[in-house]
Every structure is written in structure tokens, then in C-alpha cells.
Amino acid sequence: MSAKKDAVNWLQSASTTCDAALKALKDPDSTVSAPEGQNIEAVTLKTLLSDFTSLLNLLYQSTTKLSIALKPSSPTYAAALTPLKDLRANIDALASCTCSIEASKFGGAMSREARWIAEDVINALRQLFAVFLDAASRSGTNAKTYLARTGAVHEAIDRARGISQSNREAVRKRWTSDMDSLKDCVTEVVELTMEGDGTDDGDGEDGWDDLEIDGLSDGDTPKATEDELKRLNSAHNLFKSLLSLFKSISSQLLLDTGKVEVKSPTQLDSLLVSSGALVVASDELVSTLDVPHDIQAVSDACVIVMKHVSDLQTFLATHGVATTPTIKKPKADDLANRTASLTMDNSPGSDHSSEVAKLPLDEYFADISRWAEVLQVSDGS
């Protein structure tokens, strides 16, 4: 068998290994059996991550060697055989190592992150193998293509080296992403308000100019009524309060120096379920705030937001940093009075001002509830 044909066979085998590895990684139920004589329950996350990093390094080195050997302008097929064999073996090993990071033992966020990262690396390798298979079947392959694919593998491996070292860190990364989404909600509401009142920038007194929004044009956007501007202000403050809550939760629970003890790696996974649903609901609420407002649509969207806020508060109550929420609907006459007395720089009425925050996060939930009441339509209205 010629060296070229041998190399092509190994390329095809490595590509098939990629397909099998990706299939396993995409299946959340896929696990790895312990080698004979080894107790997989005794394997620590630290050990698995050390193996994970070592495999990444081996894949990086073999990819470089393969790309040098199979340079389209002057391929050396015999020199490609060893790195191809190593790549096939280490791709399979990476998938096995990743599947060993089980959600039930090490946390769902940690497990999902490891799988996404491994998929990214293996996908990049599969695309590189496709380039070399194409080059072997015909002449004139663009040299830039193989260089780009080689670079993509190296970049994917470099990103993978930043894998979280604990489920808490993995949750924190996702939590930060959700916080960024809430920041977007704040920005969008500010834009809607500026369009609604016809201003080009903030007046420097309400802090909105800190968002550095510019380049807005009046266009044909309808002007907001006074009630709509008050409603927009309430939504703006609601999202700011949510953002403040998220920041406080991060410092209380998600930092290694956090004040709350996390006894199990899986304990924080429920936090991401609540935050993800809350971000989606927040986006839906923002989508109802285009002028003119459909008051019922705004109210319905706000009710869903508050349902997820309540779920989040319930979870936090189990960790002793918030009080278990109580369901309370605003009264029609109270809601009317609170809306009528609302200005663009104050909070809703003062009937809640005497409430005392008993636990670290209670104050944030109280603020969120006050602003939400203004956006919700009561049964008696």
C-alpha cells in the first residue's frame, strides 16, 4: 500500500472517530465505563481536568505535525501516519474523558461546558481532516484553506484550556452571560424611552447617560404618553433592580469567596434554570414596551417575569439569603394611586418603605416587586 493511500485511510478513520465522538458528546446520557480494576467513583474532577488538558496539548502538537506533513503544495504522506494515529487515539480519549465528567457527580453546568468545549475542538479537527482528504483527491487545493483550518483547531484548543475548574465556576460563567442579557434589557428600555419622549440623551440626573447610548434618530417613532413614559421608567427600574440582584447573587453564592457554603457541586444548577427562564421572560417583557403600549400584554409579560423571580427567590431561600416569597396581587385602587403618584425619578408609593430586609437579598426582591406592581393589571381594574 502506498504511503498516500495509507494516509488517506487514516484520515478517513480519524474523521469517523470524530463522528462517533461527537455523537457521544451530544448524548447527555452517555457515560464511560471504568477500566478494569479502576473505581470510577474515586476519580476526582481535578484528575479528569488534568487528563483533559493533557489530551488537548497532545492534540495541539499532533495537529501541527500533521499540517506540516500534509502541506498541499508538497505533502509527505509517510510523515503524516504517526500524527494521524495519535490524533485518532486522542480524539477518542478526549471524548471518553469528557463523558466521565458526569452531571450527577460534578454538576450539570460543569458537564455541559466540558462537552461543548470538546465538541468545538473535535468539530474543528473533523473539518481539517476534510480539507486534507479533499487535497489528496485532487490538485490545486487553496493553501489558505488548510492554514485557516489548522488555525481553527489551535484556537479551539486554546479556548478549551480555559475550561472551568468547578461547577461553581461553570455556573458563574453562564450567570455572567445572563447578566449581560439583562444589561441589554436595560439598554433597550432606555432607547425606547428616549424615542418615546423625543430626547437624544439623558439629562445627567437619572444615570441613564452612563449607558453611553448614542446614534439614535427620531424617525417616525410615535411619542409616548405620560402614562407610557411612567411605565417605561418602571420597567427600566425593574431591570436595574434585577441586574443588581444578579450581581449580589454572584458575590453571595458564585465566587469562591462567597458567604454561602455550597455543599454539593450540583446544588447551583437550579440557579441557572431560574436565571435562563428569567432572561427569556425579560426579553418578552421588553418586546411589549414599544409605543403604543398594549397594557394587558405588558401586564401578562410582567406576571411571567415575576413568576420566575419568585422561583429564583424560593431557591435562594433554601440557602438562607432570601425570605420565601409570598404571592400578592396589587389592589386596583392602590395600583391607580401608585401609578398616578409615580414620577420619572422616584419609586412607586411609600407603603412598602417600612419593610425591613431580614436577609441579604430581600431588599432586591422588595424593589423588584414594587416596580412590577406598576406594570401589572389587577383583577379589579
CATH code 1.20.1410 region(s) in the chain: 168-375
304 touches 280 (CB < 8 A): no
CATH fit for domain 168-375, picks 1.10.1220, 1.10.260, 1.20.1410, 1.10.10:
1.20.1410
Q: Is the pLDDT of residue 199 over 80?
A: no
Comparing 37 with 242, the larger pLDDT belongs to: 242
Comparing 378 with 52, the larger pLDDT belongs to: 52
Convert the pLDDT of each residue in 278-301 to its tens digit: 999 999 999 999 989 999 999 999
Q: Confidence band (pLDDT; 50, 70, 90) for 354?
A: very low
CATH superfamily, with its number, for domain 3-165 = Talin, central domain (1.20.1420.10)
What does the pLDDT read at residue 332? Answer: 43
Q: Confidence band (pLDDT; 50, 70, 90) for 319?
A: confident
Between 38-42, 150-154, 309-313, the lowest mean confidence (pLDDT) is in 38-42
Between 42-51, 192-201, 233-242, the lowest mean confidence (pLDDT) is in 192-201
What does the pLDDT read at residue 38? Answer: 55
Q: Is the pLDDT of residue 217 over 70?
A: no
Distance CA 330, CA 13 (A): 65
Q: What is the mean pLDDT of residues 331-352?
A: 45
CATH code 1.20.1420.10 region(s) in the chain: 3-165
Distance CA 42, CA 55 (A): 21
